[in-house]
Structure 1
Amino acid sequence: MTAAIVVLTDFLAVSNRALAYAAALAVPLEAHLVLLHVRHDGLLAPQEYAHRHAGRNLRSTQQALHTLAESQPVPTQIEISESFLPDAVAEAVRHHQPLLLVLGRPGTATAPAEVVTSAAMDLLRQAPCPLLIVPTVGWDAVAPRRLVLAVDGEPFALCDNHLLVLRMLEKLNGLLEVVHVTDKRTPKHGAAHILYTVQAGGLAGHLSPNQVSIVHGLQPVAGILQAASDFHADLIVLVARRHNLLSSLFHRSVTAQLLSDSPVPVLLLPSLD
């Protein structure tokens, strides 16, 4: 059985774009797709969609999902859940043990960015699995090759699927740049220390210090986005510390702003701490 990529879908262009991106990843990663449709969720069933399709019954939903699945370039299965979103995703993660979850980032006309961020936090808490957030517009459905990994310079240990980034780099013939951002003019950590924490965390095996970029004098999000732009990155990878993610307003706001402002997809890797 191949590895799974679970995609949260709602039939709208938002999720279909995320689905196309997930399919582009699934081919080189030799994975199959699972389309998870949560019928009564405010994020995946926006109010305007619910009004327009209030009469859609389970059978027509299944038919639409099957049509969507049959158009994918890899084997694709569907699941329909009546549970709340975090519970439905947690069950899907337990059942499929996916490489990652994929969620489209709606535009403000459909759902404010803070709604998506709140959903991402809930998903990371309920189901600690790599979570990929794909922007609504302005992004082609092609697999990424230039990855920027943003770290805070402190040691970390990842949850399951800690080899995901290495697998992506190998299968996609990708390039990796590590970035550490500090608003201090004199950085607390040097490139050698940053490199050690990344290697110890299992995210890279053959990095050199010249693949580590330390950005100082900027706030975290601005520094990450600047480094991503300089590297021409097509994916930002962020180690999301679960303790800080759930309790620290600062770290939560950084994650929220990055998810809201990034012009490229963002992959959140939950850590054990």
Structure 2
Amino acid sequence: MKSMLILTDFSEAALRAAEYACELVDTLQIRRIVLYHAYQTVVGGTDLPIATAMNDQEIYLKSMEALGMMHDRLKSLVGQTVKIDMLAEDTSFLPDLLNQLCRKEAIDLIVMGVSGKSALEKLFMGNVTAQTLRSSEFPVLIVPQDTIIGRAIKGIVLTTDLKDFSTIPVTLLYQFLDAFPAEINVVNITTESEEKYSLETEESIKELHSVLEKYQPAFHYIKGEDIVPDILSFTEQHKASLIITVPKKHGFLSTIFHKSISKKLAYNSPVPLLSLPALH
């Protein structure tokens, strides 16, 4: 990996995500960071620039000034070998343009923070986060505001659906698992009503074991009705510091990114979430 895109609205949550991302620079062999601010994304009740209060040029200049301050703070964390670029754009809705931006800037990883300061912010960020994860063609790292900075990734929880193994981006998954020499727990949660696996699912289980064999993971097949709480409980019990998942528009774990459930995952867990784009 070479380039990382850090989304920022200049909030404390965004700064924490940026600082966390900087700690991964050497591990992921990042040589370029792009700090990005969509300055027309307006949320009432926050300190974000409001379009009606000033003209577009003034908003742009204020955005670049804030990016410059963030640049200086992060530069001290990554050193001189990592280039930090700044980009502020007038865009009405970020997820729609994110893939285009990443292709243009040759981005390998998107980083964004989440917090829960107010109900309105939760609603807005929950929607933006969920839609970014669903639509992104690139890996997205979601960093909760309470994430501890300076703690190495020693435990990973990898969630799977088993129903369509072909959607797992194996090569991309290998890149991250190779970068983080951590204990890996592979988790699949099925509902109590599912008495047994289908032949297709059993075949997917065999493929998954074969693909991940070199990492010597532990496999866990758990019965449960509340997917997100069960994943978070498992993560806490095993003291994992990263959750990796492959969200899809339909199927297991797609409900994680439904508005109400995504809030639970994004705002209640101190553990970062790495979302890998599913293959089609």
TM-score, normalised with respect to structure 1: 0.81
The equivalent residue for 1:241 is: 248
Which secondary structure state, in structure 2, belongs to the residue aligned with residue 267 of structure 1? strand
CA distance in 2, matches of 1:250, 1:131: 15
Mapped partners of 1:234, 1:66: distance in 2: 31
> Identity rate of aligned residues, in percent?
24
Aligned counterpart for 2:67 among listed residues 40, 61, 65? 65
Q: State whether residues 187 and 216 of structure 1, in contact with CA within 8 Å, keep that contact through their aligned partners in structure 2.
A: no
What root-mean-square deviation, in Å, do the aligned CA atoms of Structure 1 and Structure 2 show?
3.3
Deviations 1:58-100 (A, max 9, x none): 2343233123223330321111111121244232212134222
In 2: Cα distance, 1:189 partner to 1:259 partner: 30
Mean Cα deviation higher: 8-17 or 212-221: 212-221
- Alignment counterpart, residue 180 of structure 2, candidates 169, 172, 195: 172
Q: Kindly tell me the number of residue pairs found equivalent between the two proteins.
A: 265
Q: Paired residue for 1:163? A: 171
Residue 24 (structure 1) aligns with: 23
**Per-residue Cα deviation, 1:25-62 (whole angstroms, up to 9, x for no partner):** 122111121111100113xx663203799566423432
Cα deviation digits, residues 143-171 of structure 1 (max 9, x gap): 52311011122123448x75343223322
Question: Is the contact between residue 9 and residue 48 of structure 2 (CA under 8 Å) also seen in structure 1?
Answer: no
| Aligned equivalents of 1:245, 1:83: Cα separation in 2 | 32
Quick one: distance in 1 between partners of 2:88 and 2:162? 41
Contact 2:13 2:145 in 1 (8 A): yes
Please name the residue that 2:154 is paired with. 145
Hey, what does 1:136 align to over in structure 2?
Answer: 145
Partners of 2:196 and 2:268 in 1: how far apart?
Answer: 27
Secondary structure of the corresponding residue to residue 89 of structure 1: helix
Q: Can you list the C-alpha shifts for 1:205-239, whole angstroms capped at 9, x where unaligned?
A: 5244x610122245211221122112210011122
- Unmatched 5+ residue regions in structure 2? none
1:196 aligned to 2:206?
yes
Q: How does 1:1-273 map to 2 (within 5 A)?
A: 3-31=2-30, 32-42=32-42, 47-50=45-48, 57-70=59-72, 71-72=74-75, 73=78, 74-84=82-92, 85-109=94-118, 111-158=120-167, 162-184=170-192, 188-189=196-197, 195-198=205-208, 204-208=212-216, 211-244=218-251, 252=258, 254-273=261-280
Q: Unpaired segments of 5 or more residues in structure 1?
A: none
SS of residue in 2 equivalent to 1:48: coil
- Report if the CA contact (8 A) 2:99-2:138 is conserved: no
Q: CA deviation at 1:263?
A: 2.3
CA spacing shift, 1:251–1:34, aligned 2, 3 Å: closer
> 48-57 or 228-237: which moved more?
48-57
For normalisation by structure 2, the TM-score amounts to 0.79
Q: 1:155-204 deviations in whole A, cap 9, x for unaligned? A: 23448x7534322332232221101112328763499756434367x6x3
Could you tell which deviates more after superposition, 14-23 or 63-72? 63-72
Q: Which 10-residue stretch deviates more, 176-185 or 49-58?
A: 49-58
Q: Aligned partner of 1:265: which letter?
A: P
Cα distance in 2, alignment partners of residues 57 and 224 from structure 1: 41
Matched residues in 2 for 1:105 and 1:187: separation? 37
Shift of 1:122: 2.4
Indicate conservation of the 8 Å contact 1:89/1:127, yes or no: yes
Q: Measured at CA, do residues 69 and 232 of structure 1 come closer, stay the same or move farther in structure 2, by a change above 3 Å?
A: same
Q: Distance in 2 between matches of 1:211 and 1:187?
A: 22
| CA–CA distance in structure 2, aligned partners of residues 64 and 22 of structure 1 | 18
